[in-house]
Each structure stands twice: as structure tokens, then as C-alpha cells.
Structure 1
């Protein structure tokens, strides 16, 4: 089972949804990066459950404990281990699924591949495992900040409600003011109403989350394998519930001609830029210095309280089920920080690999 990602800056996540704890080991962070538990906690607070009506009512403080890797307020070059203890598991909610795979979950694949499957809350396959992404991403964001690189993720669509485009700073400001974490304040209210209406119906709704990274230097990534867009697509697609990834215009390129969407280069205030950014900041597998823009399509939460069809694998017969646990009516608001963190992990890794950040000591 693969539980790690990254080459120079490497994240290994561990734990299960209803196990004793979840967390991550971050290996490859250079020494002398100022880092505290509060830096990581700030990011974890964005994804913890029970914070609003549009999230699961499961209550978890998600308080980080750092076990290694920090000495006197700075990283020391050794693996950073962060752990969060689960304190509000309701495993009894899942006992009926021991032999009954839930629709559109990974249960059946786990059963067939591993046999011994922790079905409580989805076990290792739960969205709760993204805590490891956020721990790694918090450290990566702090590392990238030393190079003036900033990343923000925001919800741009819920159901058929779409946000209007906003500039980077407006997005940063607005997402902290609404529970949907949408950069368009007007659309955010409509999105919240839609999510709550689906929650009332015992249903769920999907959407799209966009991530923007600014001040990324040109030259990250490789032209064939280890392409920057390939690595970003890989980590974003590895987030549970994500069913599609776009860079720049993404699938919209199919409806245009080259003359319509080619990004023409220009000299702007003594710097090389492009007049448009339809490529999303990545061309030929490498960054070109423009903002890196990606979007993920997030499916509706498959755990819904409506009656659904399934099977009993022990009796080998069809079965009706109702999922009684505590679930998000929409995954998008809490997945924003996961997408942000995942992007930061890949960018930090490539910054080290490409020589923009020293691999051992930030003071060199």
C-alpha cells in the first residue's frame, strides 16, 4: 500500500478514521525553518469537522502534537512527525457495513484487495486521512513563504451555482468570511442555501474547487516525466472524492483554436509574462512564472441518509441500506485546504529539486 508522496520533500501519512490517531511524517524539510505547532494548527482548523451547518456534525478538536523535527522553534532537518488523536468516533454507526459495501465508496475494492478491512468510517480510506495532507501542506506553505510563494484554494461551483471570477487578494479575504469558502461573497450565500437544502433532504451535492499559486518561479518541473502539471494532477487526483483535475483552461481547450488561447509572451515592467494565462502557469511540463491555476471536480458525498441499493456479500443477495453516520452534505468547503496543502507539497518538492530551496539548510 502506498502511503507516501514526494521525492525530496516527502509526506507519509498514517492512521485510520476511527483508529487511535491520524497524522503524517514529513521528511526532507530543510533545517532552520521557523515552525511551531500553531503554524500547522491554523491550517488544520480550516478542515476540522463540526464548524458549521455545511460540514459533518462530528466534533473533533484536531489538536496537533509535534513529536519530532523541531528544536528551539526551528526545523532541525530531521523527520517532522505530527499526530492527532481521534476522540469522537462512533464506530457502532458502521457495524452493518462489515459485509455490505456502501455505494460509491471504496469498500468493495478494499474487501477484494486486502480482505482484512477496517470498515469503521471508511478506515484508512476515509476523508479524515487528509489530515496528513494538511500537516504536510502547512509545513510546505511555510517553506514556500520564504520564497514569497502564496497559495489559495476556493470553491468556484456548488451544483449549478457558479462563482464570478475574483482577484487573488479578494479571494483570500472572502473565503474567511463564509462557511463555503467561496471567493465570491454573493455566490457563497446561494451555495450555502443549496448545501443546507440537500442536507435537509438527506442528500448531498458536489462542486468544483480552484487552487491558485502566485510568485512561482519559471523552470519548476521536467519536460517529459516528472512534469509539474503531471505531479500536481497526481496528488490532486489522489484526494478522495476528486473525479477530475484541470490545469488552466483544462477541458475547455477542446472548444478553441490555437489562435484563440495561445499565451503570448510580453515584457511587462522589465519582466517576462504572458498576456493571458490559459495554460494555468505550466507549459511543456514546466512553470512559466505565471500563476499556477488548477481545478478539481469533487463528487457529492456518497454517504447519504436516503435508502440505497447494495448487497450482502456473506449471503450473496441484494440489500437495502441507510447510512446513519455523521457526514458532510458537501465535501467542497473542507477540501479547499486539502487541495491547497497538496499543491504546496508538490511545489515545495519541486522547489528543492530545482535548486530554488537548499535541501539541507535554509541559512546556506
Structure 2
């Protein structure tokens, strides 16, 4: 994925390791390895009572591309070991696809030789690799004065409606990543109830890219919206996206959502940001704002109807294994860091990143 900053991923949920290759990073940039670890910890499984009990250390092992903490111009290759996979939980699922998962579509495309344990290479486990690459890109963006802030604004029927201003780290001080004490507690209790009933909850994640200069992005097929959307839909579980007011535009009058302009400090300022900082696929200098919908975890404890692919008969399963009751909590840093990959690629494509290396 990407034009100038290119990212690829490899591995499987229950394989020996997962990993990735990040190519196109500028040479001579100092990579803060503890900062990568911080982001890996935020996504890491087994971190609380409301996340999966699978326990992985998620240590990023650099193979190439970084010498003495500095990028050397070559592709940055790395791997992350899988140490706590229990494939026995999936033995029944070889021929009984889980509803809501990619099991059946993987079977239709790859046949009986597909990797089915843990979802194979379609598993959310591979997003750990995405976070590692994105954490590196975020450091480059930080040098350009660009900050990416994400938070959960809804879990189940608990919503945070008021917009609030805070820094990148603040949402991670809350159990559910909803940055409001009252809503955080409500959402936590909702998750506990859903777990007790063998069920799961959906969520939505708000993201804001601050400090982005106007003129970044390409019109039409490589617009900022299309590139961000492409990345977001590469994250398992994300089923919808909107920019700025998004679907709210459909019920508005044109006079209500104009984003009128005025002269500000010798340049152009905007009186509102209904369009989420993007016009014609190109940044306008306002914060880029988008929201993604994360579906409830498909693996739940309730009995579900499916088919037995061996004899094509109706069947049922009760899924074993360890799964997140609300995947949005651990998807949050994935959305945040993967956004950095897209933004850095668009900046490099437009030739705006010359001052990264001093």
C-alpha cells in the first residue's frame, strides 16, 4: 500500500510470526524505538478484563532498514513473534465457518488449503504489524508539526456527543478509550454485561489530524478521502467511514454547511469545518476529521447457525477461543497509527517533507 511510502504485511494469526516492510522512509531519520513499544502496548492483547485474554509480548524485532537507531534508506523490515496461539480452539472451524468472519469467503477463494486457525492472514492479529509501521511514520509527522488524535466516541448505546480538545495520549487513560469519566464507566459496564451474556458490542472511532498544511492530497482517484478510506478498510472489523459532517450532509441545507472563508494572518481561514479539512480530495488547512464504524466482534459465546462444508448440511457452532468483547478498544491505536502511514505518503508524494531530516 502507498506510492512513495509503501507498506506490506506478512504472517498469520497462528503462524510463527507476523511482520511488515515499510519502504520509502527518508534516510537519516532517528527512530525512537521506545515510542514504537508504547504504541504496541496500546494495541497489545491481554491488557485488561475487557480485552482478549490472549497474551502476546508484541516486541518489534528489526531485521533491516535501521542502523544504530537511524533509518539507512533501505526497506525497514521487522517481525513480531506469535507466542500464545491455541489452534485447538479452531479445529471444528475448518469445515464450519464462523458467521460474520471471513471464514466462508476465504474458503470460496482459497479452498481447503486456506489458513483457518485464528482467521489466518485475515485476522486482526496482523494489525500489530500495522501499528509498528504507523508508529514510525508518526514520529516523522511529529517532526513536521503534525499530530494525530483518535478516541472512541461510541460503544453500544453509550455515546460521547460533545467535541473535546485533548492531546494524543489522553484517551488512553480511560478503560474504554472514551475520554469522559461518566461515559467511560457506562461503557465499561455495558461491555461487562455483554460479556456475561456471551455477546459483544460495536463502536465508533473519531480521528483528527492537526497541523496539516493546505494543498496535501491528490484530486479524483488518489484523494485524501480515498487513500484514508482504503487504509481504514484494510483494518478488520471496520465497516463504515465518514469525513467531517459525513452522512449528516444528507439532511442539511447548503446554507448550513458552507465552510465560509475569511482572511486570517495574511492567508485563508475557515469559519467552520463541516467538510473535515478536505475539499476536492486536498487538505484545506483545517484539521482533517473522520469517523469509522467498528462492528461488534463476530466471535461470541452464543450458539450460531452455520453450515458444514463437508456434506453441505445445516449446522451450529459455539465458538471457543479468546476474543475481544469490543474490538474498538484495541482498534483505536491501529486507526491512529495507520492514518500516519497515509498522511506521510501523501506528504512525500506532494514533495512537502523536505525539512524532515535536519
Which TM-score applies when normalising by structure 2?
A: 0.97
Shift of 1:225: 1.8
- Specify the SS of the correspondent of 2:173: coil
Whole-angstrom CA distance in 2 between matches of 1:296 and 1:362: 30
1:67-216 → structure 2 map (5 Å cutoff): 67-115=63-111, 116-169=113-166, 172=168, 174-216=170-212
User: Deviation of residue 37 (structure 1)?
Assistant: 2.7
Deviations 1:317-364 (A, max 9, x none): 011100011000001111111111121111000110011113xx9437
Query: Secondary structure in 1 aligned to 2:221?
Result: coil
Contact preservation (8 Å) 2:59, 2:80: yes
Answer whether contact 1:303 1:327 (CA < 8 A) is retained: yes
Q: Distance in 2 between matches of 1:128 and 1:82?
A: 15
Give the superposition deviation at 1:200: 1.1
The question of whether the paired residues in 1 share the 8 Å contact of 2:66 and 2:72 is answered with: yes
How far has the Cα of 1:75 moved from its partner? Answer: 0.7
In 1, are the aligned partners of 2:238 and 2:292 still within 8 Å (CA)?
yes
Q: Distance in 2 between matches of 1:205 and 1:149?
A: 32
Q: CA deviation at 1:94?
A: 0.2
Post-superposition offset of 1:164: 3.3
Q: Any gaps of 5 or more consecutive residues in structure 1?
A: none
2:312 paired with 1:340: no
Please report how far the alpha carbon of residue 41 of structure 1 lies from its aligned counterpart in structure 2 after TM superposition.
Answer: 1.2
How far apart are 1:119 and its partner, in Å?
Answer: 0.8
Displacement after TM superposition at 1:189 (Å)? 1.1
Deviations 1:44-69 (A, max 9, x none): 11100010111101111111111111
Work out the CA distance in 2 between the residues paired with 1:203 and 1:163.
Answer: 22
- How many angstroms does 1:168 deviate by? 3.0
Equivalence for 1:256? 252
Is the partner of 2:206 in helix, strand or coil?
A: strand
Query: How far apart are the structure 2 equivalents of 1:167 and 1:34?
Result: 32
**Any residues of structure 2 matched to 1:20-99 within 5 Å, and which?**
20-99=16-95
Aligned counterparts of 2:38 and 2:268: Cα–Cα separation in 1:
35
After superposition, the CA RMSD in angstroms is 1.3
Q: Which residue of 2 aligns with 1:351?
A: 347
* 1:189–1:55 distance in 2 versus 1, CA, 3 Å: same
- 1:168 counterpart SS class: coil
Q: Deviations over 1:108-131 (max 9, x none)?
A: 111111112111100101000111
Distance change >3 Å, CA 114–CA 107, structure 1 → 2: same
State how far apart, in whole Å, the 1-side matches of 2:44 and 2:267 are.
Answer: 41
CA contact 1:6–1:349 (8 Å) conserved in 2: yes
Does the aligned pair in 2 maintain the 1:101–1:108 contact within 8 Å?
A: yes
Cα deviation for residue 271 of structure 1 reads: 4.2
Paired with 2:49 and 2:266, the residues of 1 have a C-alpha distance of: 49
Q: Which runs of 5+ in 2 are unaligned?
A: none
Q: 1:92 to 1:138 in 2, by over 3 A?
A: same
Change (3 A) 1:172 1:138: closer
Task: State the Cα distance separating 1:181 from its structure 2 match.
Answer: 1.2
Measured in 1, the distance between the counterparts of 2:219 and 2:352 equals 18
Q: Secondary structure at the match of 2:268?
A: strand
Which ranges of 4 or more aligned residues in structure 1 deviate by more than 4 Å? none
1:363 corresponds to 2:357: yes
CA contact (8 A) 1:111 1:117 kept: yes
CA contact (8 A) 1:157 1:208 kept: yes
Query: What TM-score results when the alignment is normalised by the length of structure 1?
Result: 0.95
- CA offsets per residue over residues 204-262 of structure 1, 9 Å max, x none? 01011111110001111112220111111111122111110111111110000111011
